[in-house]
Amino acid sequence: MKWFDRKFALETPIWLFPNLLERLRGTPLRLEERTRNLSPSICTTKIDEASWSIQENVGHLLDLEELWLGRLDDFENKIETLRAADLQNLKTENSNHNGKDLKEILVDFRKERGELVMRLENLSTEKVFTSVFHPRLKKLMTVVDLCFFIAEHDDHHLAKITAIKKA
């Protein structure tokens, strides 16, 4: 299923917050494990022109850390509507991730994700319960919903990487 076709109830229970933090914390390691011992030619090969390579999927996850951190700013600043995502993924399309060193992309992702997790861990209970309008989904979203959304997005791309490896 395409990411933008997915629907989200956005009613994630608060008790899932620690579990979701663990999923978010674990994504860098899972990415490193999925790409370990793969040649650069395998990591940069596209199955077809409409899809991304393994390395582009990893780069896309790095590219979105800026959005996730920005949305966390939106919650902290009590903005009415979360900043919108670039639905054309222009940052990823224009980043030439296949021309970069995968290890550097993974190191940068680990650093950015570490900052996101640290900020989430340090949020006050009041902020965790804050609701802000999500522009594409047209629903109120809590910080816990945001964590679920990010974790699902991570898993979506990890599954794509696994499928590319099998192909």
Q: Are 50 and 139 in contact (CB under 8 A)?
A: no
Non-local CB neighbours of 128 within 8 Å, separated by 6+ positions = 14, 17, 142, 143, 144
Question: Domain span at residue 106?
Answer: 3-166
- Per-residue pLDDT of 69-103, as tens digits, reads 999 999 999 999 999 999 999 999 999 999 999 99
Query: Which amino acid makes up residue 151?
Result: A
C-alpha pair distances (Å), 71 with each of 66, 76, 79, 89:
9, 9, 9, 17
Non-local CB neighbours of 159 within 8 Å, separated by 6+ positions = none
User: Rounded distance, CA 72 to CA 79, Å?
Assistant: 10
Our count of domains for the chain comes to 1
Pick from 63, 84, 60, 92: nearest CA to 132: 84
Asked if pLDDT for residue 27 goes beyond 90, the answer is: yes
User: Rounded distance, CA 9 to CA 166, Å?
Assistant: 32
| pLDDT in the model for residue 4 | 64
pTM score above 0.75: yes
| pLDDT in the model for residue 10 | 85
Asked if pLDDT for residue 61 goes beyond 80, the answer is: yes
- Per-residue pLDDT of 4-17, as tens digits, reads 677 788 889 999 99
Q: How is residue 143 written in tokens?
A: 């910080």
Q: 150 exposed, middle or buried (CB, 10 Å; 0-12, 13-18, 19+)?
A: buried
Mean pLDDT of 21-41: 97
Which CATH number does the domain housing residue 62 bear? 1.20.120.450
| pLDDT in the model for residue 149 | 96
| pLDDT in the model for residue 91 | 96
Name the phi and psi angles at 7, rounded to 5. -110, 145
- Per-residue pLDDT of 108-161, as tens digits, reads 999 999 999 999 999 998 899 899 999 999 999 999 999 999 999 999 999 999
User: Rounded distance, CA 53 to CA 46, Å?
Assistant: 5
